[in-house]
Structure 1
Amino acid sequence: MTPDSRRDTDMTTKKTTTKKTTTRKPKTKKTTTTQISLSPKASGKTGAKNLSAINAAAKVLSEAKEPLTTKQMIEQMAAKGYWTSPGGKTPHATLYAALLRDIQRKSEDSRFAKADRGLFALKK
């Protein structure tokens, strides 16, 4: 068998197929409506101002005498009731990133300073 004859054989055994196309029915979403109340009276936190994590960190650092790690800040924020994690697994990592972003973006106007590796303090 020569290479040319093999090629001819392959070409003759090739089958052509056609694909069948089907139309799918669009999926319908079942929607339910729930009312969420955002008023402070409904949540039971009247008079108390909810702080963000970065503002609570600034408050904790202002009360601390030395620089803190983000894990220490998160623990103190929760203990003092300033801020608690809404259920995240690594709130200290999120706070760390937020502090670094604040320092980089605001540079001289930032409230925070990096004191050492992993330690943050307020600017004086």
Structure 2
Amino acid sequence: MSKKTSTKKPATKTVKAKPAKKAPTKKAAARPDAVVEATGECPKGGSHEWTEEGDEKFCTKCKEPQGSKAKPAKGKKAKRTKPAVDKKMSALDAAAKLLEETKEPMNTKAMIETIAAKGYWTSPGGKTPHATLYSAILREITTKGKEARFKKTDRGNFAFNG
């Protein structure tokens, strides 16, 4: 008789480590030289107790100084204000300006040539800027409908919708 050897591995038990407990933090109110004031709004929202240390006041719960700016509520992004910078005109904006000035329908190849000649916009080096402009004009017409700056007059021709 031959003995059969088992290929099974012995069962091992995995144990997850528990997270370490955080050390308790000392409250500012426990200091003898600190003065606690219960009025005022915390910069992070809500009413908190303020602790006065020297010439500054801090929130006892979030440790923020009283003079700091409040952060926006969750879910809302703070709007950044950028200084007014003279931006380049897009090909679509330049085409609208050109069609408004000329008051006659044009195809996109003629628009690109005239826009470049007047200096409103220059191609960044693309091979078919007229096709890109054509696509952008059609996209504006389909998304904005009657409020679009352009209207299609004939096959391949567009005029200012004003």
Give the shorter-chain TM-score range.
Answer: 0.5 to 0.7
- Could you tell me which of 90, 96, 104 is aligned with 2:134? 96
Q: Which residue in 1 is equivalent to 2:120? A: 82
Length-normalised TM-score, structure 1: 0.60
Deviation string, structure 1 residues 30-68 (Cα, Å, up to 9, x no partner): xxxxxxxxxxxxxxxxx8641001000001101113100
More strand by share: 2
Q: What code does the residue aligned with 2:100 have?
A: S
Q: Percent identity?
A: 63
Please identify the structure whose Cα radius of gyration is greater. Answer: 2
Q: Which residue in 2 is equivalent to 1:109? A: 147
More helix by share: 1
Number of aligned positions between the proteins: 78
**What 5-or-longer segments of structure 1 have no aligned partner?**
1-46
Q: Which residue in 1 is equivalent to 2:99? A: 61
Partner Cα separation in structure 1 for residue 110 and residue 93 of structure 2: 15
**Higher relative contact order at CA 8 Å, sep ≥6: structure 1 or structure 2?**
1
- Could you tell me which of 110, 135, 148 is aligned with 1:72? 110
Deviant stretches of 4+, over 2 Å: none
Length-normalised TM-score, structure 2: 0.46
Q: Aligned pair in 2 of structure 1 residues 115, 123: CA closer, same or farther (>3 Å)?
A: same
Partner Cα separation in structure 2 for residue 72 and residue 48 of structure 1: 26
Deviation string, structure 1 residues 84-110 (Cα, Å, up to 9, x no partner): 100000000000000000000010211
